Structure 1
Amino acid sequence: MPTVSSARWALMAQFALFGLIQVSWMSRMPSIRDALELTSLQLGSLLIIGGLGSLVGALTVGAIIARFGSRNVLIAGIVGNVVGFGLDATGLLGFGLGFFIAGMAINGVCGALVNVPININAAAVEQRLGKAVLPQFHAAFSIGAALGALVAAGFAFAGAHVATQILIVTAVVTLLRALLVAPSMRLTPQSPVTTATGSVDADSTRDRNRNAVRSALGAWLEPRTLLLGVVLLAASLAEGAATTWISLAVVDGFAAAEATGAMAYGTFVGAMTVFRFVGTGLIDRFGRVAVLRVSGFSSLAGLLLFVFGPDLAVAWIGLVLWGCGTALGNPIAISAASDDPDRAGQRVSVVTSFSTISSLAAPPLFGLLADEVGARSALLVVGAVIILSLAVAGQARRRPAPAAEPAPAAAVDA
């Protein structure tokens, strides 16, 4: 187990760094809006550029991994982020909106190039251990996101320009990511030949013939995979809306300081992180479906408290319930898509593309609604998608991989 253990902890760190670099700049949305001299509607419309880049990445990353392997794709994503965030900082320093737009597009593509490889390898770790641990990797992402929010609050409190923050955070994260590439991708085979021990292919079958692309695209025809995508869509929309709009909702809705808005988001992430650690035991005991349904109701209740709460104290309680409810949707959907290791790469790519769809559609929608009804009320759209997710939660029921050896005992989903 030494290889699995080292890969597990290196992947934990990769998830944390992914969360940190993604959230640290997004927690400075008020400063970004002011630096670019945009309204909330214009900012929301601009964020769609990143969504388009993410969509391109999500739609192609399964085939790219099948051809080049997780490690090479991860390296490409890391290098691309350096370019993307550099362009973002250039635009925010007043050199032109075009730089910021280009950086958003590049970072959108590279987000998928980082996200899918680390999730595939994390799913391989879960399969090796024979118990639910994928939520812990997403908890590491949440820890990184909380740290990113704290970093943003610190830079904001110090009065530092958001471009300065972006450049410093990108440099530090890139260095750490580079050091972790080899150990985090340790389960990735270096050749298309299965090992003598029959170990799980962490690339989820880096397709061994000329039909690699066709095999990757075939997952788009599977009804269960698409419905799992709906589950992930709701979870990603709930989490993404919080990431992008909580700080603005607190600042605009309660006349609070920007640092308070960043700390509010930190509370959301903290609740989500704790429940991701607790949730692994709950999933093993009660099964994916039951946990997913209870989580959906918690997320919905918290969202309603945040939107309709009469003061910041009540809204803060809503943030905790919202964060707890949002915690497990993403890892449960990805774990369910990875039930068959030989098809996990293709299916995870499809399922995560629904997260990209939410990031593509949500910014302009929320921006428009925020200008019309306020940032808090605009978040009610998330509630409707959560209800849809509850209707298809049964698709997360565990399915054994075909022609595989019996898996270790796990909870039976009701």
Structure 2
Amino acid sequence: MSALHYIFLAQGACFATLVSRIPAMRDRFAIDDLRLGVVLAVVPLIAGVGSLAADRLAPRFCVVRLLRIATPVTCACLAAIGTVYSLAVLLMVLALFGLALGVVDATMNAHGVAVQESAGRAMMSGLHAAYSLGGILGSVAAAAATGVPLAIFFGVVGAVACVGCLAMGTRLKPASRPPTDRSSPDPPGVWRRTAIIGAAMLALFIVDSAVSNWGATYLRAVLSAPEHLAALTYGGFAGAALLGRAIGDGAVERFGGTRVVGGGGLLGAAGLLLVISAGTPATGLAGFAVAGFGLSVIAPQAFVAAARAVPQRPGTAIARVNVCVYAGFVLGAPLIGAISALASLRTAFAGALVLVIALTVAAPQLGSAGPGDPTERPADTDGES
């Protein structure tokens, strides 16, 4: 495993560890679900600020230095959350966690794209596979540690991840890229494609948030699944996503990013169609797994496409697209809940299917011809020198 793969894995593990122990945090602070949701919304909202800040700081400190600083901060904040008993202090720690999270998300994707372009071969799906693996490991660890005090659990996970990030950070090297003239004017209309990519990522993560927050409820309430079977919903979705990302780079090398994104969108749509037409829990589980497999390849290629769309400022493009990821994460759960309240949960997931169909239509904007096509390569990733 490369140093950058470890950074992706640690980031996924820390985030999954936090969200997997939300029920224990709710009990500690004795707050209802609505107030807890408001408190936890601090993380993605501030992460958006951190993502944009990373673009501003990268030219001064370089992407690799920012990663070396921000990744241990994320891990340390996770450890600190377990020791907090004041809601006001929790908000401050979560804000710092979100800020560091946003910096890491933006810089690790920017550095990943730069390394991929320097290497001349597809790598981004593999990096995102490491993130998915970290998320699964964090969730499994949280399930196994049920009953363990938060201070101990968060402290152990945070400390292990922090030590690893400090060690791996020293092995990160700036990608070998020619310098970019940031003062040069942008070509007319250069940000139009980035806006389309950002909108598509917003839709993608609304769907992802819908599955993670409402998938188990769908199986339980709509398909009358037993609780233990409904609990497998997100695990099946995430496991299939890990598999899709593990083979995604090979598919991009063979077929090109545009075809991979288009095919992934079609599979995602087929999976959600299976979900909304399901009559049994097994069919619903299969549908969520198919959707996870197909949709998994879209985000890595979208970051590459964003960087190639704005070759003068690829880091800026990635940071802005990353903000759309957080917006989708925040909007997904309440949007599905609102549609469910007005109509039904099945109708809400039909709305998610419409978003995936739109993603598939946008595949030419989200994909790319692959690393071997010099006509679509960015000149540099901001701050890589």
- Counterpart among 61, 74, 99 of residue 68 in structure 1: 61
Residues 365 and 237 of structure 1: is their aligned pair in 2 closer, same or farther, counting only changes over 3 Å? closer
Q: Deviations over 1:59-112 (max 9, x none)?
A: 222111122111232233224324532453244xxx233233333322221111
Q: What is the CA distance between 1:173 and its match in structure 2?
A: 0.8
Contact 1:225 1:347 in 2 (8 A): yes
Contact 2:72 2:166 in 1 (8 A): no
Q: What is the CA distance between 1:291 and its match in structure 2?
A: 1.9
Partner in structure 1 of residue 267 of structure 2: 298
SS at match of 1:332: helix
Q: Deviations over 1:197-222 (max 9, x none)?
A: xx326xxx5x677x5xx98x999961
Partner in structure 1 of residue 168 of structure 2: 180
In 1, Cα distance between equivalents of 2:314 and 2:51? 14
Partner in structure 2 of residue 58 of structure 1: 51
Length-normalised TM-score, structure 2: 0.83
Aligned 1:13-24 pairs, distance under 5 A: 13-24=6-17
Count of residue pairs the alignment pairs up: 374
Aligned letter for 1:69?
Answer: C
Length-normalised TM-score, structure 1: 0.77
Partner in structure 1 of residue 383 of structure 2: none
Aligned 1:206-225 pairs, distance under 5 A: 222-225=191-194
In 2, Cα distance between equivalents of 1:161 and 1:219? 56
Residues 382 and 30 of structure 1: is their aligned pair in 2 closer, same or farther, counting only changes over 3 Å? farther
Contact 2:205 2:332 in 1 (8 A): no
In 1, Cα distance between equivalents of 2:55 and 2:8? 19
Partner in structure 2 of residue 348 of structure 1: 318
SS at match of 1:338: helix
Q: Deviations over 1:378-403 (max 9, x none)?
A: 55553343233233222135376679
Between 1:385-394 and 1:114-123, the stretch displaced more is 385-394
Residues 146 and 63 of structure 1: is their aligned pair in 2 closer, same or farther, counting only changes over 3 Å? same
Residues 62 and 402 of structure 1: is their aligned pair in 2 closer, same or farther, counting only changes over 3 Å? farther
Contact 2:79 2:159 in 1 (8 A): no
Q: What is the CA distance between 1:313 and its match in structure 2?
A: 2.0
Contact 1:250 1:261 in 2 (8 A): yes
Q: Deviations over 1:223-279 (max 9, x none)?
A: 01111112322333333444445466667776755x866654232221111111222
Q: What is the CA distance between 1:160 and its match in structure 2?
A: 2.3
Partner in structure 2 of residue 99 of structure 1: 89
Aligned 1:36-185 pairs, distance under 5 A: 36-91=29-84, 95-156=85-146, 159-183=147-171, 185=172
- What is the root-mean-square deviation of aligned Cα atoms in Å? 3.5
Percent identity over the alignment?
Answer: 25
In 2, Cα distance between equivalents of 1:309 and 1:34? 35
Partner in structure 2 of residue 232 of structure 1: 201
Partner in structure 2 of residue 194 of structure 1: none
Is 1:288 paired with 2:257?
yes
**Structure 1 residues not aligned, in runs of 5+:** 1-7, 189-198, 407-414
In 1, Cα distance between equivalents of 2:347 and 2:43? 24
**Structure 2 residues not aligned, in runs of 5+:** 380-385
In 2, Cα distance between equivalents of 1:310 and 1:240? 23
Q: What is the CA distance between 1:29 and its match in structure 2?
A: 3.6
Residues 264 and 65 of structure 1: is their aligned pair in 2 closer, same or farther, counting only changes over 3 Å? same
Q: Deviations over 1:120-179 (max 9, x none)?
A: 2211221122222211111111111111121122113xx324454222211111111111
